[in-house]
Structure 1
Amino acid sequence: MMDFAKEVIARSHEVPVLVDFWAPWCGPCQFLAPVLEKLAAEAQGQWALVKVNTDEEPEIAAQYHIRGIPAVKLFHRGEVIAEFTGAMPEFQLKQWLAKHLPDPLRERIEALFVQLLEVAPADIAKSIEDLYQQQASKAEVQLLQALWQLRQGNIQEAQSLLQEVHPQDMQWIERKQHLLTLAELLSCTPTGAAQNALANAQQAWKKGNMEQVIEQLIQAVMLDKRFQDELPRRATIALFQLLGESHPLVKQYRRRFDMALY
C-alpha cells in the first residue's frame, strides 16, 4: 500500500506532482503511461510522476472521485490544481503541462501584485527593482511595474507602460485592463452625486488604505452607478480581481458590493 500523503501531498510542497490513476486492464492507460514517463524524464525533476493502480488502491481512487481511467491529476502545495481523464497524444499533453504547471516566476509576480496593494511601495521596492532588472522584457513584470507606478501616484507613467505592454495570456490581458481601470479612476475628476466618495477613494489610494478605497467605491456605486461608464463598479471589480477572491478584503466586501449593484 502506498503512502499517498508522503509520496504526493507532502512531495507536492517541494515540486508539482502529476498523479496517473491507472489499471493493468485499461488499454488507454497503456498508451498514456509511456508518454507520461518520457515527459517526466525530460522534465529533470521540475515535476514528479506518481502512478496509482486503482485496483490496488481503491480507497485513494474513491477519495479523489476517480470514475474513469486513465485519470491524471496535478498536485501543487497539497491541492489538485488541474486534471483530465482519458489518453492524450504527446503534443497535446505538452500543451496541457505548459498551461497548468506552476511557474515560480509567475507566482512571485502575483505575490508582489498583492503586496503592492497591501504595503507601502517602499517596503518592497528592492524586490520589485531586482525582478525588473532580471525580467524587464516579460509582459507580467511590465504590468507589475505599471502597478508600482500607480501606487506611487505616477499615473501618466503607468498609462504609458500599459499602452506599450501586450500580454498574450488571457489572465494577464485581463490584469492589464484592471490596471487601466484603476489608472482611469485615479486620473478622473469626480463630479455628480458620487463626487465626494470618488474623491475620498482617490485620497485613500494615495495613503495606501485599500479598505477605504473599496468602502468609498461601493458608496460611489450606490450614489451614481452610471458615472463615467460605471467607473466605480469597474474599479471595485478591478481591485477584487487583483487582490484575489481569497483575500480577506474581498471576502469582507463582496456581499456589500453585490448588494450595492441592485
Structure 2
Amino acid sequence: MSSAQTPSAHVFDATTAGFEKDVIQASLDTPILVDLWAEWCAPCKTLGPMLEKLAVEYDGAFRLAKIDVEAEQQLAAMFGVRSIPTVVLIRDGQMADGFAGALPEAQLREFLTRNGIVPGDGSANDAEVFDAEPETPEDAINRLQQAIAADPGQAELKLELAGALLRAGQVDPAQAELDALPANLATDTRATRLRSQLDLARALAGAPSLAELRQRVDANGDDWEARDLLGVRLLIEGDAPAGLDQFLDILKRQRDWHDGQAKKRLLAAFATLDDADVVGSYRRKMASLVF
C-alpha cells in the first residue's frame, strides 16, 4: 500500500529509515500495530483492509504501520518473519503481542481488547486502557446482532456472527448463519474454515467450560477426555498451538485412546488452520510420534 492510498492519519507505511522514530519511539505514546505483508500474498489482501478499517474506527487507540516485506527486507528479517501476513503489537518500545495469518474481524477485535485497546481510546490514560475487559463471545454476538439489525445488508457481519456463535458453543445457530451467507461469502476462506471448525465444535456439545477443563487437566494429567476437549476449545477460541499440544500429548502418552482420536483431531485441526508454518511444524511432530 503506497502512502497515497493510506486511508487515514492512523495508518502509515513504515520504512527502515523511519522505523526507530515512527514505530519504536511513537509506541511510547500510542500502541503501534505492525502489519507485515506483500502484494502477492492472498491472505494479506483479506487481513489488510480489515486492519485499516479498525484503525480508522478505533480513532487513535492505536496506529497501523504497514510494512511491505518485499520492499523492506531488513525490517522483515528484524521481525524474524516466517510467514505472512504477520502482525506484531509494539507498545512502550517493545514487542508486546502478535499473531500470524488472516484472522476474522471478530478475533482481531478480541486481540485488540485483550491488549487493552478499545475504540476511540486515543485520549484515555494507561489505567483505563489496561482495565478494559476483553469482549466475550456473548458480547460479540450481541454487538454483531445489533449491527446487523441496523444494517442487514452487511453480509460480512453475518460471517463474523457465525464465528462468534461458534466460539460461544452455539453450533447450530453458527451453522445456520453460514448456510445463509450470500454466494460470494459462502466460498470465502473464512467460511470454509468455520465449516471445518464446526465439525470439531460439535464435540463440545454439553462440554465443560475452558476454565473447568483446565482445572481438570491440572488436577489429573491423565484425564484424556478433559485434555481432548480442552484441545478442541483452545482451537475454537483461536489458540491453535496450545490446542494442538493437547492432542500431541494424548498421542504421545495414550496413542490408542478412543480408537486413536488424538490423531484424528490433529488431522481435522490441520484442515481448519491457514498458518502453513504451524501446520507444517505440528505435522512433523505428529509424524515423529506415529512413525
Q: Select the structure that is richer in helix.
A: 1
- TM-score (ref. length: structure 1): 0.41
Q: How high is the TM-score relative to the length of structure 2?
A: 0.38
